[in-house]
């Protein structure tokens, strides 16, 4: 009986599909378990072996839970809107929907070969109108809501309107635009319909606004902060500049505090929680006003500071170059220089501006402000280390306390006010680095926290400011000037955006002739012909960003076929949170923050009952490539085997990993891969083999080290691949793909198979009762495997399997009573081979809907222990005692023993120490 994985695996995959073995029950009394993978973007390159790492883990857990009696939801889908398909469309004219469809087919075929237990009847594709209809619907709910700070939640905008009609907005506490004016009920009622809509936009949780965005001219779209790395787009590496544009925005800032608090109740790694905390960036401090020196311009500068206690050390003010105040404050003499600077600073990314280590840049406005605490007149500068979008965009600079302010002051020769014990103004500013910081004025001797509170009290008393909590989080840009995304379900009456009636959704993506902006610079949707609401109103022309669909897709799986709602209340109540979410760390702030935001919102508005989407999150590590290297003898047409390479001077070359078996190069295959080397000499090493060197690096086409899962499945089996990926190491760790070890996993499967064979290699299992030792190794393994899976330790389980098979081999075990629970235990890891052996044992029902085995403590009990009996430190005897025997009884029996008596020579022992299950020590 041969183990023929290719045949077995295809057979069972077809069987599972046909018999709907993994279909999730819709109405079930069972407890639920929701295991989810971050759904992939279906790229043209297909899956590589890094993708399945997380998928295999969630597959194992979902099977484990199903076999423990849970109703399991383990779905899969595709995040199928996005840039690559559109870039391809621009280059080739191919409609992105076609490319996307093809890529999805490839992905599904690849996933299918790995034997995953997805319930495909719940598949979602974010680019399908059935799906984006509901993305648009959620957008409309957000548009129709405002954030009431009194009740601390989002509420329908209609309630805000009734409040305005009754009382105006004076008693309303809301997250709204800074420039929202106050008005009475009378005034509200007199406003025109248009004026009312403009005011409501200041409250809506999604709104249009002119904002400074990261514009990527090459990609022709706006990018979010988390899509930019060091001033370049993450995708494609194109330069990004700052530009003012009209955009849809999401008022995520209303949720800053809830997003922060929510982190405490979820089981995510500290690292990801910390990244989210930093992104939200809560700071405590004060907002306070500085009067502008009345001899110049009158007015005030409002700053946000976390260190109001350093007020006596403020020697200058800095404002961000984008502020309108720049024009007001710049004196005629400074105009030219300021204009030059502002123009230069305009296109620098936030990161560049903030990461400047050595030199800082800036320019003097010519104006001054008054430090009302010290009474001093201080210069107002413009510098791009101050960001327009944070706090008030104005900083009180304290060079004696703050590093950047210090560098700035030293560079531009601004005075540094001494808040250092023992000296007044400093000639040598570096002195402060060695001095001891003290608080000036009345704050002397206070600790920082007390001093901060003291100054806040004082500024509140003087009426120039107040204590303030600030968040670094900004409202999120929700517009992309691209084609391949969800249309925003909005039309314009004049400049007033209105949402489409719900019954008209989805608003379909229109066909266009070219996937490029229009001549006038409008987004591609501007090309759509006769595309108007009721033939007269302009639709919004931008599309939604990549994160729209992924912010709620996990809810759609709960009720994927529902045509009436995004998901029924019953379904969302039953499935509730995702119990286990597995995906890469690259989404730590983007996707994982936005989906928390939408979940919080939907909960506030009563559409769902849970606040946090993902209860437990595991970030799988990366699988790195193991590159293969060959060595060319310098300046000669020769390659030399790795083991001889030190005898020559060589240069190294990457070789495609598929041409290497273990360490050994297939020379002929290499020659046809690199025809220019066809006539080279290959100096082979030990045993006539040509050995390659290797190196761990990123898995990348460039290094010819990308491994395709299809190749592994074809060569070995899906079960081998699954087992091997789990065996590589802890799921969270990054680790190299080491082809040498795949064989080990494959050998294990063959060994398992042979347990079921007799000496004639025929299938044979015996109905005899197992021995005590056989029961013991089985139950020991079940116990450990359960414990390990409960703590998501996937790799250690594989070693347990290997140990068990070795032990059963050594015991020559062929008992059905052992094999059945063993297969059920292994089924989540290696679903095909276990199913085949299960069927061979005569079972008709699939093993995957059987019970996971329970362990029985009784088999683990050790019956007797052999104690060494030590007399004065020397081993004199061995005695067996029952495991549960107590120390007093052991002592009595030891003393009564003849051999012991002999060694004691009639003396009474001074001390007897019994170490249970280990040793007995007698001192005479
Ligand atoms: C005076 C001071 C003294 C400050 C000192 C810090 C240390 P976090 O913690 O991130 O909230 N700041 C305020 N607005 C800014 C802006 N738009 N761009 C750049 N920097 C800005 O930081 C708040 C501190 O960063 C504020 O407190 C302000 O400098 C600066 F020893 O005021 B501080």
Nearest to residue 550, comparing CAs of 21, 13, 40, 7?
Answer: 40
Residues 616 and 581: their CA atoms lie apart, in Å, by 6
Residue 484 CA to ligand 1 center (angstroms) comes to 40
Q: If you measure from the C-alpha of residue 9 to the centroid of ligand 1, how many angstroms do you get, rounded to a whole number?
A: 61
Confirm if 881 and 867 have CB atoms less than 8 A apart: yes
**Closest atom of ligand 1 to CA, residue 285:** 27
pLDDT of residue 870: 95
| Residue among 568, 510, 569 nearest 538 (CA) | 510
The tens digit of pLDDT for each residue in 611-669 reads 999 999 999 999 999 999 999 999 999 999 999 999 999 999 999 998 998 889 999 99
pTM of the model: 0.85
* Closest-lying ligand 1 atom to the alpha carbon of residue 314: 1
pLDDT digits (tens, 9 = 90+) for 288-343: 999 998 776 778 999 999 999 888 889 999 999 989 899 999 999 999 999 999 98
Nearest CA to ligand 1 atom 32: 305
The mean pLDDT of the chain is 91
Per-residue pLDDT tens digits for 600-612: 999 999 999 999 9
**Minimum CA distance residue for ligand 1 atom 27:** 305
Say whether the peptide bond before residue 204 is cis (omega within 30 degrees of 0). Answer: no
Residue that has been written with the tokens 């060595």 in this structure: 631
- Ligand 1 mean position to 283 CA, how many Å? 10
Residue 429's pLDDT is what?
44
**Closest atom, ligand 1, to C-alpha of 391:** 14
- CB atoms under 10 Å from CB of 69, counted, come to 12
Among the residues of 46-192, which ranges form H helices? 51-66, 83-92, 96-113, 129-143, 157-167, 185-190
In ligand 1, the atom with minimum distance to the C-alpha of 401 is 31
3-state secondary structure 535-594: CCEEECCCECCCHHHHCCHHHHHHHCCCCCCCCCHHHHHHHCCECEEEECHHHCCHHHHH
Average pLDDT of span 19-35: 95
From residue 706, how far is each of 667, 669, 700, 723, 734 by CA, in Å? 20, 17, 6, 19, 15
17 three-class SS: helix
Ligand 1 centre from 394 Cα, in Å? 9
| Interatomic CA distance for residues 127 and 111, integer angstroms | 20
How many residues comprise the chain?
924
User: Which residue puts its alpha carbon closest to atom 28 of ligand 1?
Assistant: 305
Ligand 1 atom closest to the Cα of residue 354 is: 19
Nearest CA to ligand 1 atom 26: 305
Name the 3-class secondary structure at 160.
Answer: helix
pLDDT at 428 over 70: no
Strands 638-640 and 681-683 come out as parallel
Q: Which of 807, 709, 698 is nearest to 755 (CA)?
A: 807
Q: Report how far ligand 1's centroid is from the alpha carbon of 308 (Å).
A: 10
- Percent of the chain with pLDDT strictly greater than 90: 72
Phi, psi of 13 (to 5 degrees): -60, -40
Ligand 1-lining residues (CB < 6 angstroms): 283, 304-307, 310, 320, 386-387, 390-391, 393, 395-396, 398, 401-402, 470
Residue for token pair 């190749």? 711
For ligand 1, the distance from its centroid to the CA atom of residue 150, given in whole angstroms, is 29
What is the Å distance from ligand 1's center to 5 Cα? 63
Which residues lie across from 282 on neighbouring strands?
Answer: 471
Please report the pLDDT score of residue 246 as a whole number.
Answer: 85
The 10s digit of each residue's pLDDT in 816-864 is 999 999 999 999 999 999 999 999 999 999 999 999 999 988 888 777 7
What's the distance, CA 369 to chain centroid?
45
- Residue to substitute in 277, 302, 306 for testing ligand 1 pocket (most ligand atoms within 8 angstroms of CB): 306
Mutation choice for ligand 1 from 391, 419, 451, CB with most ligand atoms inside 8 A: 391
- Which atom belonging to ligand 1 lies closest to the Cα atom of 385? 19
Ligand 1 pocket check: which of 304, 378, 408, 455 to mutate, most ligand atoms within 8 Å of Cβ?
304
pLDDT score of 479 more than 50: yes
Kindly give the distance from the C-alpha atom of residue 302 to the centroid of ligand 1, in angstroms, as a whole number: 13
What is the whole-number distance in angstroms between the Cα of residue 304 and the centre of ligand 1? 7
Tell me the C-alpha to C-alpha distance, in Å, between residue 549 and each of 49, 546, 555, 702, 814. 26, 7, 11, 32, 52
Q: What DSSP letter does each residue of 719-735 carry, written as one string?
A: HHHHHHHHHTS-TTS-E
Residues 6+ apart with CB under 8 A from 459: 286, 288, 308, 465, 466
Span 570-576, average pLDDT: 97
Using pLDDT thresholds of 50, 70 and 90, give the confidence band for residue 430: very low
Tell me what pLDDT residue 880 has.
Answer: 83
d(CA 421, CA 93): 71
More confident residue, 671 or 84: 671
Q: If you measure from the C-alpha of residue 305 to the centroid of ligand 1, how many angstroms do you get, rounded to a whole number?
A: 5
Task: Report which of residues 184 and 442 the model is more confident about.
Answer: 184
> Which residues, listed in sequence order, are joined to residue 739 by a DSSP beta bridge?
none
Reported confidence tier of residue 418, pLDDT bands at 50, 70, 90: low
Question: Quick one: pLDDT at residue 435?
Answer: 36
Q: Is the pLDDT of residue 528 over 70?
A: yes
Residue 725, burial from CB neighbour count under 10 angstroms (0-12, 13-18, 19+): buried
Point out the ligand 1 atom lying closest to the alpha carbon of residue 390.
Answer: 17
Three-state secondary structure readout of 238-299:
CECEEEEEEEEEECHHHHHHHHHHHHHHCECCHHHHHHHHHHHCEEEEEEEEEEECCCCCCC
Q: Which residue in the block uniquely carries the two structure tokens 């007199």?
A: 190
- Ligand 1: atom nearest CA of 308 is 1
* Secondary structure element (H or E) that encloses residue 319, with its range: strand 316-319
Composition of the chain by helix, strand, coil, percent to 5:
40, 20, 40
CA 395 – ligand 1 centroid, Å: 6
Ramachandran angles phi, psi of 750, nearest 5°: -65, -35
Q: Is there a contact between 385 and 397 (Cβ–Cβ < 8 Å)? A: no
**Residue of the nearest CA to atom 7 in ligand 1?**
402
Spatial distance between the Cα atoms of 112 and 10, rounded to a whole number of angstroms: 9
Q: How many A from CA of 625 to the centre of ligand 1?
A: 43
CA trace torsion 97, 103, 105, 110 (10° rounding): -160
- Hey, whose CA ends up nearest to atom 20 of ligand 1? 386
CB distance 397 to 409 below 8 Å? yes
Please give the distance, rounded to the nearest whole angstrom, from the Cα atom of residue 431 to the centre of ligand 1. Answer: 23
The residue with greater pLDDT, 115 or 376, is 115
Does position 3 have pLDDT exceeding 80, yes or no?
yes
Q: In ligand 1, which atom is closest to the CA atom of 393?
A: 17
Angle between helix axes 718-727 and 831-840 (nearest 10 degrees) is 130
Q: How far is the CA of 306 from the centre of ligand 1 (A)?
A: 6
Per-residue pLDDT tens digits for 549-562: 999 999 999 999 99
Dist. CA 206–CA 598, nearest whole Å: 12
Q: Quick one: what percent of the chain has pLDDT higher than 70?
A: 96
- Residues 632, 645: Cα–Cα separation, whole Å: 9
pLDDT band, very low/low/confident/very high, at 422 (cuts 50, 70, 90): very low
Of the residues 390, 393, 449, which should be mutated to test ligand 1's pocket, given the most ligand atoms within 8 Å of the CB?
390
Burial 870-892 (b: 16+ CB within 10 A, else e): bbeeeeebebebeeebeeeebbe
Give the distance (Å) from ligand 1 centre to CA of residue 277. 18
Closest approach atom of ligand 1 to CA 388: 17
The answer to whether residue 36 scores a pLDDT higher than 80 is: yes
Q: Is the pLDDT of residue 439 over 50?
A: no
**Rounded Cα distance, 901 and 120, in Å:** 75
Pocket mutation for ligand 1, best pick of 312, 314, 356, 395 (most atoms within 8 Å of C-beta): 395
- Does residue 767 register a pLDDT over 70? yes
Rounded to the nearest angstrom, the distance between the alpha carbon of 410 and the centre of ligand 1 is 18
Nearest CA to ligand 1 atom 19: 386
Q: How far apart (Å, rounded) are the C-alpha atoms in residues 724 and 337? A: 64
User: Distance from the CA of 286 to the center of ligand 1, in angstroms?
Assistant: 10
Structure-token match 């009394």, residue found:
29
The minimum-distance atom of ligand 1 relative to the CA of 389 is 17
Structure tokens at 620: 């799988």
Q: Quick one: which atom of ligand 1 is closest to the CA of 283?
A: 11
Degrees, nearest 5: CA angle 70-72-75: 175
- Ligand 1 centre from 405 Cα, in Å? 10
Residue nearest to ligand 1 atom 2, measured at CA: 307
User: Cα(150)–Cα(152) distance, rounded to whole angstroms?
Assistant: 5
The answer to whether the CB of 108 falls within 8 A of the CB of 80 is no
- Whether 763 contacts 842, CB under 8 Å: no
| CB of 300 closer than 8 Å to CB of 291 | yes
Question: What residues have CB less than 8 Å from 294, skipping those under 6 apart?
Answer: none
What's the distance, CA 562 to chain centroid? Answer: 29
Question: What are the beta bridge partners of residue 735?
Answer: 623
| Distance from residue 345's CA to the centre of ligand 1 (Å) | 20
Which among 694, 737, 739, 698 is positioned nearest to 715, based on CA atoms?
A: 739
SS3 at position 802:
helix
Q: Which atom of ligand 1 lies at the shortest distance from residue 313's CA?
A: 3
Query: Is residue 3 helix, strand or coil?
Result: coil
- Look at strands 32-37 and 580-583 and give their pairing: parallel
Q: How far is CA 899 from CA 822, 868, 873, 917, in A?
A: 45, 13, 16, 20
Place of tokens 């996707």: 591
Cα 658 to Cα 145, 542, 626, 715, 747, distances in angstroms: 56, 45, 11, 11, 20
What angle in degrees, to the nearest 10, is found between the helix axes of 816-826 and 831-840?
Answer: 150
């Amino acid at each position: 009986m041969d183990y023929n994985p290719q045949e077995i695996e295809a057979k069972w995959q077809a069987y599972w599909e046909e018999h709907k073995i993994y279909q999730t029950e819709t109405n079930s009394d069972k407890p639920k378990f929701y295991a989810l993978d971050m759904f992939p973007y279906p790229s043209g390159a297909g899956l590589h072996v890094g993708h399945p790492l997380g998928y295999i883990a969630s597959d194992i857990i979902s099977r484990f839970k199903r076999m423990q009696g849970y109703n399991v939801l383990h779905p899969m889908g595709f995040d199928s809107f996005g840039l690559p398909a559109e870039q391809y469309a621009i280059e080739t004219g191919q409609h992105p929907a076609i490319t996307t469809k093809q890529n999805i087919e490839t992905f599904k075929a690849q996933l299918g070969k790995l034997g995953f237990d997805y319930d495909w009847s719940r598949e979602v594709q974010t680019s399908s109108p059935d799906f984006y209809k509901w993305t648009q619907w959620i957008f409309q709910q957000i548009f129709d809501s405002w954030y009431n700070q009194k009740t601390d939640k989002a509420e329908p905008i209609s309630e805000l309107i009734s409040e305005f009609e009754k009382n105006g907005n004076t008693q309303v506490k809301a997250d709204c635009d800074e420039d929202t004016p106050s008005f009475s009920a009378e005034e509200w009622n007199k406003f025109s319909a248009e004026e009312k809509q403009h005011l409501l936009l200041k409250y809506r949780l999604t709104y249009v606004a002119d904002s400074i965005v990261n514009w990527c001219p090459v990609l022709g779209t706006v990018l979010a902060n988390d899509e930019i790395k060091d001033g370049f787009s993450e995708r494609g590496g194109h330069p990004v500049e700052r530009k003012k544009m009209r955009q849809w925005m999401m008022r995520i800032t209303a949720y800053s505090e809830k997003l922060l608090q929510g982190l405490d109740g979820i089981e995510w790694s500290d690292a990801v929680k910390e990244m989210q905390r930093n992104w939200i960036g809560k700071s405590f401090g004060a907002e306070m006003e500085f009067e502008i020196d009345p001899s110049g311009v009158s007015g005030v500068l409002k700053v946000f500071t976390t260190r109001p206690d350093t007020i006596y050390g403020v020697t200058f003010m800095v404002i961000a170059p984008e502020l309108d105040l720049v024009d007001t404050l710049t004196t005629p003499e400074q105009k030219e220089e300021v204009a030059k600077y502002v123009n230069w600073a305009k296109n620098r990314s936030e990161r560049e501006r903030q990461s400047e280590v050595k030199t800082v840049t800036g320019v003097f406005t010519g104006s001054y402000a008054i430090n009302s605490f010290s009474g001093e007149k201080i210069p107002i500068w413009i510098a791009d280390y101050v960001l327009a979008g944070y706090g008030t965009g104005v900083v009180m600079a304290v060079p004696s306390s703050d590093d950047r302010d210090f560098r700035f002051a030293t560079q531009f020769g601004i005075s540094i006010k001494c808040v250092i014990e023992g000296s007044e103004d400093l000639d040598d500013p570096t002195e402060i680095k060695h001095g001891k910081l003290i608080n000036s004025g009345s704050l002397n001797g206070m600790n920082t926290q007390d001093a901060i509170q003291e100054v806040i009290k004082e500024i509140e008393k003087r009426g120039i400011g107040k204590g303030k909590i600030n968040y670094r989080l900004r409202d999120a840009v929700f517009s992309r000037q691209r084609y391949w995304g969800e249309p925003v379900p909005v039309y314009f009456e004049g400049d007033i955006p209105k949402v489409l009636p719900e019954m008209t959704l989805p608003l379909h993506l229109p066909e266009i002739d070219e996937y490029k902006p229009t001549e006038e610079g409008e987004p591609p949707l501007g090309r759509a012909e006769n595309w108007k609401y009721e033939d007269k109103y302009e639709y919004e022309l931008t599309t939604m960003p990549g994160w729209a669909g992924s912010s709620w897709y996990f809810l759609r799986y709960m009720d994927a076929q529902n045509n009436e709602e995004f998901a029924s209340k019953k379904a969302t109540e039953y499935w509730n949170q995702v119990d286990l979410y597995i995906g890469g760390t690259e989404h730590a702030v983007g996707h994982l923050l936005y989906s928390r935001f939408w979940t919080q919102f939907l909960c506030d508005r009563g559409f769902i009952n849970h606040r946090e989407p993902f209860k437990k999150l595991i970030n799988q590590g990366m699988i790195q490539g193991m590159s293969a290297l060959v060595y060319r003898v310098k300046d000669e047409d020769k390659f030399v085997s790795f083991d001889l390479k030190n005898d020559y001077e060589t240069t190294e070359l990457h070789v495609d990993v598929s041409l290497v078996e273990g360490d050994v190069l297939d020379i002929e295959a290499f020659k046809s891969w690199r025809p220019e080397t066809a006539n080279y000499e290959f100096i082979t090493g030990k045993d006539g083999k040509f050995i390659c060197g290797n190196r761990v690096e990123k898995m990348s086409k460039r290094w010819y080290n990308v491994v395709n899962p299809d190749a592994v499945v074809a060569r070995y089996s899906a079960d081998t691949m699954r087992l091997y990926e789990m065996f590589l190491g802890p799921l969270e760790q990054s680790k190299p793909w080491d082809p040498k070890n795949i064989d080990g996993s494959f050998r294990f499967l063959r060994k398992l198979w042979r347990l079921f064979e007799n000496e004639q290699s025929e299938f044979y299992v015996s109905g005899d009762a197992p021995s005590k030792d056989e029961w013991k190794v089985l139950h020991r393994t079940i116990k450990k495997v359960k414990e390990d899976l409960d703590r998501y330790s996937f790799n250690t389980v594989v070693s347990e399997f290997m140990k068990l098979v070795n032990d059963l081999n050594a015991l020559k075990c062929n008992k059905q009573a052992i094999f059945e629970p063993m297969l059920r235990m292994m089924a989540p890891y290696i679903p095909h081979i276990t199913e085949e052996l299960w069927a061979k044992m005569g079972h008709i029902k699939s093993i995957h809907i059987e019970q996971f085995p329970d362990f029985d403590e009784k088999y683990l009990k050790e019956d007797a222990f052999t104690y060494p009996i030590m007399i004065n430190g020397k081993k004199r005897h061995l005695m067996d005692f029952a495991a549960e025997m107590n120390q007093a009884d052991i002592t009595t029996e030891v003393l009564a023993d003849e051999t012991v008596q002999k060694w004691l020579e009639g003396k009474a022992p001074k001390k007897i120490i019994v170490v249970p299950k280990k040793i007995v020590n007698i001192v005479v």
